[in-house]
């Protein structure tokens, strides 16, 4: 080996940080916040240690905690007081996310992003209204086109409450287009859309479904979320959302789909987001509880890897911990 081939030279303290390719800033992170209309107190989420559902009255305090770590954006999820077949509490003016958004935008400096989906609001737990025979013989579960208008109404109601960005996550074909049109027609042309553009039908969402009480009562989401086997299809999905006016392109989950994050980064010039989902959070916590992994180190490495793959921003339950550690 010649003296020329010594990459280790650049790993010396003081040099290492100069040549570091990827940074991880608190301002790159979005913290999910669960607001629950059925409770007066905070409820810990068992499968997601450190995460809680907070009452509507406690949403501002919860967001203040996030902001105090340096994280500037939150993603709101709602647990409504009641559910029905259409998910009508999703677009109610006095709905859980709408009330929380009004309070948070009035009383804090946080940027509010809202998840736009119906699965927490429908009594069957699917992300839209059902096809007539979905329960008996599901070939397709959700009636795609009948769901579009409900999503647009939900997004507009979030914008009316003060949301800066809406994040449709139902994988309904055409959702970005109708939401853009709905927002523009209502005068919200400044409200951005972060589309869950490539969202896979993933088993890594398990803990979230406890957290937000949105598990499907029958069947699964394979008819509308993407097949984990498919990579090229993600490019098609994303392209459609770009054509319909998406501002930020999200890939979800994160770590098992780094290849997709990289491809989307290369192919498009929009900001790319990755969602480091509940199962990614839960598995690191579970291993750390056993003493098998160093939680802070693996959390930071996970997020850094998502950034290295090409994500500009990351939605993550680790946001506060990683930001607070600097």
Q: Kindly list the residues in this chain that would bind ligand PBG in the complex (CB under 6 A).
A: 115, 117, 119, 127, 169-170, 205, 208-209, 214, 221, 277-278
Query: Can 290 be counted among the known catalytic residues?
Result: no
Look-up of token digits 């990827």: 22
91-103 burial: b if 16+ Cβ within 10 Å, else e: bbeebbbbbbbbb
Cβ proximity to ligand PBG, 182 vs 214, nearer residue? 214
Cα(first)–Cα(last) distance of the chain, in Å? 39
Cβ proximity to ligand PBG, 188 vs 200, nearer residue? 200
Angle at 183 between CA 177 and CA 184, to 5 degrees: 90
Token pair listed for 312: 């500009």
Query: Can 307 be counted among the known catalytic residues?
Result: no
Least Å distance, CB 93 to ligand PBG, is: 21
Least Å distance, CB 209 to ligand PBG, is: 6
Cβ neighbours of residue 52 closer than 8 Å, sequence gap 6 or more: 34, 42, 43, 44, 45, 62
Please choose, from the candidates 321, 325, 324, the residue with its C-alpha nearest in 3D space to the C-alpha of residue 50: 321
The residues pairing with 192 across neighbouring beta strands, listed in sequence order, are: 165
- Going through the chain in order, the beta strands assigned E by DSSP cover 29-36, 43-44, 52-55, 73-79, 111-116, 165-168, 192-199, 248-252, 272-276, 313-316
Cβ proximity to ligand PBG, 119 vs 176, nearer residue? 119
Residue nearest to ligand PBG (CB): 208
Cβ proximity to ligand PBG, 127 vs 176, nearer residue? 127
Give the number of C-alpha atoms closer than 13 A to the C-alpha of residue 18, restricted to the C-beta side.
Answer: 7
Least Å distance, CB 282 to ligand PBG, is: 9
Token pair listed for 311: 């994500």
- DSSP string spanning 235-254? HHHHHHHHHTT-SEEEEESS
Cβ proximity to ligand PBG, 98 vs 114, nearer residue? 114
Cβ proximity to ligand PBG, 74 vs 277, nearer residue? 277
In the set 46, 199, 290, 307, the catalytic residue is 199
In the set 46, 83, 252, 290, the catalytic residue is 252
Residues labelled catalytic: 199, 252
């Amino acid at each position: 080996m010649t003296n020329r081939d010594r990459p280790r030279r650049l790993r010396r303290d003081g040099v290492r940080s100069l040549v570091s390719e990827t940074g991880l800033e608190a301002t790159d992170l979005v913290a999910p916040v669960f607001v629950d209309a059925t409770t007066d107190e905070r409820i810990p989420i068992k499968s997601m240690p450190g995460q809680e559902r907070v009452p509507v009255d406690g949403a501002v305090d919860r967001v203040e905690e996030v902001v105090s770590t340096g994280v500037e954006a939150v993603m709101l999820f709602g647990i409504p007081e009641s559910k029905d077949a259409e998910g009508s509490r999703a677009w109610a003016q006095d709905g859980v996310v709408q009330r929380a958004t009004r309070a948070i935008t009035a009383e804090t400096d946080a940027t509010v992003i809202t998840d736009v989906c119906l699965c927490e609001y429908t009594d069957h737990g699917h992300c839209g209204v059902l096809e007539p025979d979905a329960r008996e013989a599901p070939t397709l579960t959700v009636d795609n086109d009948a769901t579009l208008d409900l999503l647009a109404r939900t997004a507009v109601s979030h914008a009316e409450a003060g949301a800066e960005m809406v994040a449709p996550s139902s994988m309904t074909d055409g959702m970005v287009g109708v939401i853009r049109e709905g927002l523009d027609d209502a005068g919200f042309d400044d409200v951005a859309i972060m589309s869950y553009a490539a969202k896979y039908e993933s088993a890594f969402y398990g803990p979230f479904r406890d957290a937000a009480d949105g598990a499907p009562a029958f069947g699964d989401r394979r008819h509308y979320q993407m097949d984990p086997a498919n990579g090229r299809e993600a490019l098609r999905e994303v392209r459609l959302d770009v054509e319909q006016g998406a501002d930020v392109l999200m890939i979800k989950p994160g770590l098992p789909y780094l290849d997709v994050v990289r491809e989307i980064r290369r192919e498009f010039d929009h900001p790319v987001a990755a969602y480091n989902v509940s199962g990614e959070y839960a598995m690191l916590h579970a291993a750390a509880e056993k003493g098998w992994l160093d939680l802070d180190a693996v959390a930071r490495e996970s997020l850094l890897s998502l950034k290295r793959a090409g994500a500009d921003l990351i939605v993550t339950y680790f946001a506060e911990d990683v930001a607070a550690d600097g």
